[in-house]
A and B are shown apart, each in its own frame.
Chain A
Amino acid sequence: MPASKRFLPPEAVKRVQRLELRARHIVEGFLSGAHRSPYFGQSVEFVQHRQYVPGDDVRHVDWKVWARQDRLVIKQYEEDTNLRCALLIDSSESMSYGGKGQTKFDYACTLAACLALLVLRQQDAVGSVLFDNKIRSRVPLRTSQRHLTDIVVSLENTQPAQKTNLDSVFRDVVQTFPRRGLMVLISDLLGAEDSSLRGVDTLRRAGHDVMVLHVLDDDELDFPFADPTRFEGLETSDHLTCNPRALREGYLQALERFLDHVRRACAASKSDYLLVRTSDAPDAVLAKLLSDRMHTVRR
């Protein structure tokens, strides 16, 4: 199966096409687009008046004010710019877990591919970074429609391995993407909780609009194991032989505490957060994510 088919199932593509990704925070771009820019320019969104000075484009003079007040003022508009969206995909070994055939990494790749497609359809720039404890693969930001192939190939060629270290990775990402843009982190955030959250904070402090798609498998969320099992850590050498039913309640409590902590941290850093089950349809997840985001932006 070609990589484009693997990570972009036709049904998902069909539904994603109808979605729109909007930057919630101000992002910097070279082109005019649908996203707010830190630069004032031509736009329908009026921002303020300023005193006319010689050299100003007379097209921006507010003639209604001149007629009423007999003074020349220039109308200033919020400039729209293009979106620069970086997809940060966790490819640590913990992402290799998948209870029902599809691993978390596969699912994360699907989400990333769908987002890339969506962004490119909007004429925005998209790039990708695959990382574990360091960056494994990087695809620069492009707006070309053919750029999607580069991203998908990059996803295809990466296998989950190594531990996670988001903090150090995101320092590199910040340097790689100095201009403010949208950072979409797709990860299970397992392995190093504090490091992960520090990494998110690093991105946010760099001015990026951050979206966290927290991907977890159904097994990890429900812990449905019944028979005696020897659990062997994917990113650690720990192992535990136990009757999983006896530990289920404690496990779920610990997991819930972790999720709650992550939610709070994301909220504190004004990052978007969405917990995603691998059993959820990717298009539905994106639809919900973008719908919530649009709602937030319009407010």
Chain B
Amino acid sequence: MQFLFQPLTWGFLLLAVPILIHLINLLRHRKQPWAAMDFLLESYRRNRRWVMLKQWLLLAARLLAMFLLVAMLAKWVSGTQWLSWIGGQTTQHYILLDDSYSMGEVDQNESAYQRGLQAVAGLIRSIAGSPGQHQITLVRWSRAALALANQDGDGRLDAAADLLGQSVSRDPDRLLDRVNATQPTAMQLSPEQPLELVAPMISRQAEQQHDVYLVTDLRRNEFGEPETLRNQLLPLAQSSTRLHLIDCAQDGGQNLSLVSVAPEQEVWAVGVPLMVRFQVRNRTAREVKNVVVRVRSVTYGEDSVTPRVDLPYSGDIVDLPPVVIEKISAGETVTRRVQVVFGVPGEHVVETSLADDVLDVDNRRWCTIPIQRSQRVLLVDGDPTQTSAFYFEKVIKPDARFSTGMDFDKVDASYLRDAAPDSLKQFDVIALLDVPRLDPQAIDKLEAYCREGGGILFTGGPQTNLKFVNEQLYRSGQGIYPLPLQSIDELPADQPTEEPMVMAQEHPILAPLLQLESSPFFMLQIRRQFRTDQQALADTTLDLVATGQNRQPLVVDKSFGAGRCVAVLTGLTSEWSNWAQDPTFVVFAIRSLGYLSSFRRPATSHPVGSPVRMSVTGQAVLPEAEVIVPARGDGMRIRLQQSVAVDDEQEVSRLNLAVDIGQTQRDVVDSLLRAGLFEAWMTNAQGDYVVNNLAHNVAAAEGDLERIAASDLEQKLRGVPVRIRAAKTIIGQGTNAPETVHSTLLMALLALLLLGEQVLAYSASYHTPTGAR
């Protein structure tokens, strides 16, 4: 039994009033001496049963009238109990609410998510107005995704649902109090996850009727290729589950998105200019002009910043000159680079932002850039003259005034054999320059190093042993060398050519050289070049950086574990090439070393909802740490206290703040699902702060507001009966009509009852006759 105005149900205490009056009347009487008792007793004997019956009927009528009056005032909305008494069937309603960030699209000062909430309220009212027993389960897509990721078994739905098997109420504001306070998350979500969550429940309750409502914005990126969705919906439809799609969005959203921001794979060192690349996508149907991208760098100098929740960032903010993009055609993605320089080591941040539009969430992006004092390069030269190492040394340290941000250690191959396994981790890149042979221990160390993200650069030369390379380093594709070597091609020297011998390919290492109007490789002569197996080039993990004579691979790049290996299939000595004397070698050396060093770096950004992790090695920290999470809108950021787990053996202190909807507090979950910069702070034994920044960015695809037409979707969901409705047809539904009908029925019942009560009372002579006292 449900009531719209619950507080008024206290009025049911008034039911005691007729009973009390009845009892009081029994006790409250006056004494009357009476002579004609015989006639009175005779009348009593004759009428006793009828009088008693009338009194009980009258009392019952008054009780019922009081009940109906209070029920009418309190807006009695449900007859479910009545139906359950006679064995009525229960209908389970599963409302799956899309809270992906595209639901934040604002149209006419109202977001799709707000329309979705209103539609949910309308749905519940409508359900409440329909006969039968109803139970409602409401799940937000984000919670379903988290539950599937973190929870096991039957507890998943319990943890994910905002409402679980809730008896229907005609007071959606009360029922939806918790949900109404929510906002769309910054996550990219799909309907498959919530459907996967509720499908087992539906199959277990096969005897009941089920209705599944997908309250969403029908974006093409979610519903454009709905094969998976169709496969999920088909069994539900076959089990008599009614499927509903509630469309909350409006057509015509114009959105500009920042789809990426990331530092180039270069040397990230103090004082070294660093290019940060960002992309802006025009998702509108028309060309936009003069798009302004604001760029800010935030410096978190070691030992110089403290956590501040009252500021957007705890670091020092520097507004860089905005980047103006003259025009972006419809559907076009434009890439721009901006140069930043950080003067101190630390975990720095670059923020890019666009002006507000219909969807704000994808207008800002962040990336973190861990800046080192310098990057260390290990130069291992196999030539006793160390000619190749000399060339790299001159590139890395041209003179004392100019810094490339790199330091080098020059060793011979025996170093790799003798070095401790972990000692290689101190180097960002290892360059193996014309190394003839390596001990198996050295190869194992190198493979372990590369597997963990390290970068290895190979160059050839006269010392290079093809057999060793193929058998020990390449090992049929299992080793660290990118490809097998067949032979050494002797190329004719100083042949005049119309086009350069070497051509750069689309690869980050030589990408800047591709932007030049003319090739910088005209002066480059390759005299000897390793020939490779053409079949090896079919390896999809192999990237071509540059080609040499006859477009044979000259520089190749291949992944190994988390790291990368770049091989130059020629030598740097004059017998092999003149590249070391060519200006392009400087570009190649610096960028390849920077490129190879980038894979052992932590990610510069993470998807929304990723855990916030931090580890500190080699120093003691206090057991309490804190995480500052981004604010919603322009509000103050939130500080979360977290415990630090200490591994004494490895002298590592770890902080881990992951989204677990079964354990984490509800408001904390909400804050962890935002986009922005998360600052993790620890305090070491000296009282100094140690900070680790994590940028959480939205998935770019969710910002595509293109919608799929209902007819198109119906066609794609062929065989699955889905009722597609616009949210506006549901908003406000059931607010008045059923209540009015209910109230009118109650009022009519009450009027009839009062009329009956009057007739009964009159019949029982309960009205004072004329002259009575």
Query: Which A residues contact B (CB, under 8 angstroms)?
Result: 93-97, 104, 188, 190-191, 193, 217, 220, 222, 224-236, 238, 240-243, 245-251, 253-255, 258
B757 to chain A, nearest CB (A): 16
Q: Say yes or no: B37 contacts A246, CB within 8 Å.
A: no
Known contacts A226-B768, A228-B28; A253 and B43 CB within 8 A of each other: yes
Tell me, in angstroms, the Cα distance from A125 to B771 when the chains sit together: 43
B702 to chain A, nearest CB (A): 77
Q: Say yes or no: B29 contacts A254, CB within 8 Å.
A: no
**Neighbouring A residues of B34 by C-beta, 8 Å:** 97, 231-234
Partner pick for B35 among A227, A235, A243, CB 8 A cutoff: A235
B58 to chain A, nearest CB (A): 11
Q: Offer 8 A-B interface pairs, CB within 8 angstroms, sorted by A.
A: A95-B35, A191-B35, A230-B31, A232-B31, A234-B33, A240-B41, A243-B764, A255-B36
Decide yes or no whether B715 CB sits under 8 A from chain A.
no
A-B contacts besides A234-B34, A243-B766, 16 pairs, CB < 8 Å: A96-B33, A188-B35, A222-B771, A229-B32, A230-B29, A230-B31, A232-B31, A235-B37, A240-B40, A243-B764, A245-B764, A245-B765, A247-B51, A248-B765, A255-B36, A258-B39
**Neighbouring B residues of A94 by C-beta, 8 Å:** 35-36
Known contacts A250-B46, A250-B47; A228 and B35 CB within 8 A of each other: no
- Nearest A residue to B30 via CB reads A229
Tell me, in angstroms, the Cα distance from A56 to B658 when the chains sit together: 152
A229 to chain B, nearest CB (A): 5
**Neighbouring A residues of B55 by C-beta, 8 Å:** 243, 246
Tell me, in angstroms, the Cα distance from A231 to B32 when the chains sit together: 5
Tell me, in angstroms, the Cα distance from A62 to B36 when the chains sit together: 62
Most buried by A among B33, B35, B54: B35
Tell me, in angstroms, the Cα distance from A231 to B37 when the chains sit together: 8
Partner pick for B765 among A97, A220, A246, A253, CB 8 A cutoff: A246
Known contacts A229-B31, A232-B31, A232-B34; A224 and B44 CB within 8 A of each other: no
Q: Say yes or no: A228 contacts B25, CB within 8 Å.
A: yes
Q: Say yes or no: B37 contacts A233, CB within 8 Å.
A: yes
Q: Say yes or no: B43 contacts A250, CB within 8 Å.
A: yes
**Neighbouring B residues of A246 by C-beta, 8 Å:** 47, 51, 54-55, 764-766
Tell me, in angstroms, the Cα distance from A104 to B33 when the chains sit together: 13
Identify which of residues 181-230 in chain B touch chain A, using a CB-to-CB cut-off of 8 Å: none
Interchain pairs with CB closer than 8 A, number: 124
What 1/0 mask marks residues of chain B from 72 to 112 whose CB sits below 8 Å from any chain A CB? 00000000000000000000000000000000000000000
Q: Say yes or no: A255 contacts B39, CB within 8 Å.
A: yes
Tell me, in angstroms, the Cα distance from A247 to B50 when the chains sit together: 11
Q: Say yes or no: A241 contacts B40, CB within 8 Å.
A: no
**Neighbouring A residues of B40 by C-beta, 8 Å:** 231, 240, 242, 247, 251, 254
B25 to chain A, nearest CB (A): 5
The A contact surface, by secondary structure, is mixed
Partner pick for A254 among B30, B38, B767, CB 8 A cutoff: B38
Decide yes or no whether B42 CB sits under 8 A from chain A.
yes
Q: Say yes or no: A251 contacts B31, CB within 8 Å.
A: no
B361 to chain A, nearest CB (A): 75
**Neighbouring B residues of A234 by C-beta, 8 Å:** 33-35, 37
What 1/0 mask marks residues of chain B from 742 to 773 whose CB sits below 8 Å from any chain A CB? 00000000000000000000001111110111
**Neighbouring A residues of B32 by C-beta, 8 Å:** 225, 229-232
**Neighbouring A residues of B33 by C-beta, 8 Å:** 96-97, 231-232, 234
**Neighbouring B residues of A233 by C-beta, 8 Å:** 34-35, 37
**Neighbouring A residues of B766 by C-beta, 8 Å:** 243, 245-246
Tell me, in angstroms, the Cα distance from A234 to B33 when the chains sit together: 6
B767 to chain A, nearest CB (A): 7
B36 to chain A, nearest CB (A): 5
**Neighbouring A residues of B685 by C-beta, 8 Å:** none
- Nearest B residue to A95 via CB reads B35
The B contact surface, by secondary structure, is mixed
Tell me, in angstroms, the Cα distance from A243 to B767 when the chains sit together: 11
Partner pick for A224 among B29, B37, B773, CB 8 A cutoff: B773
Partner pick for A247 among B47, B771, B772, CB 8 A cutoff: B47
Tell me, in angstroms, the Cα distance from A193 to B42 when the chains sit together: 14
Q: Say yes or no: A247 contacts B43, CB within 8 Å.
A: yes
**Neighbouring A residues of B25 by C-beta, 8 Å:** 228, 243
**Neighbouring B residues of A238 by C-beta, 8 Å:** 37, 41
Tell me, in angstroms, the Cα distance from A249 to B768 when the chains sit together: 13
Tell me, in angstroms, the Cα distance from A172 to B37 when the chains sit together: 28
- Nearest A residue to B773 via CB reads A224
Decide yes or no whether B26 CB sits under 8 A from chain A.
yes
B771 to chain A, nearest CB (A): 5
Tell me, in angstroms, the Cα distance from A258 to B37 when the chains sit together: 13
Q: Say yes or no: A251 contacts B35, CB within 8 Å.
A: no
Tell me, in angstroms, the Cα distance from A240 to B32 when the chains sit together: 10
Q: Say yes or no: A254 contacts B42, CB within 8 Å.
A: yes
Identify which of residues 7-26 in chain B touch chain A, using a CB-to-CB cut-off of 8 Å: 25-26
Most buried by A among B28, B36, B43: B36
5 interchain residue pairs of minimum CB distance = A250-B43, A94-B35, A254-B39, A228-B29, A233-B37
**Neighbouring B residues of A241 by C-beta, 8 Å:** 26, 29
Tell me, in angstroms, the Cα distance from A46 to B298 when the chains sit together: 153
Most buried by A among B34, B41, B54: B34
Tell me, in angstroms, the Cα distance from A91 to B224 when the chains sit together: 110
Q: Say yes or no: B35 contacts A245, CB within 8 Å.
A: no
Tell me, in angstroms, the Cα distance from A241 to B40 when the chains sit together: 11
- Nearest B residue to A231 via CB reads B34
Q: Say yes or no: B773 contacts A249, CB within 8 Å.
A: no
Known contacts A231-B40, A232-B32, A249-B765; A225 and B772 CB within 8 A of each other: yes
A127 to chain B, nearest CB (A): 27
Most buried by A among B30, B37, B766, B771: B37
A67 to chain B, nearest CB (A): 69
B387 to chain A, nearest CB (A): 125
- Nearest B residue to A234 via CB reads B35
**Neighbouring B residues of A228 by C-beta, 8 Å:** 25-26, 28-30
Partner pick for A190 among B35, B51, B767, B768, CB 8 A cutoff: B35
Tell me, in angstroms, the Cα distance from A227 to B769 when the chains sit together: 11
Partner pick for B773 among A95, A225, A231, A250, CB 8 A cutoff: A225
Tell me, in angstroms, the Cα distance from A254 to B42 when the chains sit together: 7
**Neighbouring B residues of A93 by C-beta, 8 Å:** 35
Tell me, in angstroms, the Cα distance from A247 to B40 when the chains sit together: 7
Q: Say yes or no: A245 contacts B36, CB within 8 Å.
A: no
**Neighbouring B residues of A255 by C-beta, 8 Å:** 36, 39
B385 to chain A, nearest CB (A): 128
Partner pick for B29 among A97, A217, A227, A247, CB 8 A cutoff: A227
Partner pick for B42 among A96, A227, A242, A250, CB 8 A cutoff: A250
**Neighbouring A residues of B51 by C-beta, 8 Å:** 242-243, 246-247
A240 to chain B, nearest CB (A): 6
Tell me, in angstroms, the Cα distance from A228 to B22 when the chains sit together: 11
Q: Say yes or no: B773 contacts A226, CB within 8 Å.
A: yes
Tell me, in angstroms, the Cα distance from A258 to B768 when the chains sit together: 25
A290 to chain B, nearest CB (A): 28
Q: Say yes or no: B769 contacts A245, CB within 8 Å.
A: yes
- Nearest A residue to B47 via CB reads A250
Tell me, in angstroms, the Cα distance from A243 to B448 when the chains sit together: 104
Q: Say yes or no: A190 contacts B36, CB within 8 Å.
A: yes
A225 to chain B, nearest CB (A): 7
Tell me, in angstroms, the Cα distance from A255 to B40 when the chains sit together: 9
A122 to chain B, nearest CB (A): 34
- Nearest B residue to A249 via CB reads B765
Q: Say yes or no: B772 contacts A251, CB within 8 Å.
A: no
A164 to chain B, nearest CB (A): 10
Tell me, in angstroms, the Cα distance from A164 to B765 when the chains sit together: 33
**Neighbouring A residues of B765 by C-beta, 8 Å:** 245-246, 248-249
- Nearest B residue to A227 via CB reads B30
Known contacts A220-B35, A227-B30; A245 and B44 CB within 8 A of each other: no
Tell me, in angstroms, the Cα distance from A241 to B29 when the chains sit together: 8
**Neighbouring A residues of B773 by C-beta, 8 Å:** 224-226
B574 to chain A, nearest CB (A): 130
**Neighbouring A residues of B764 by C-beta, 8 Å:** 243, 245-246
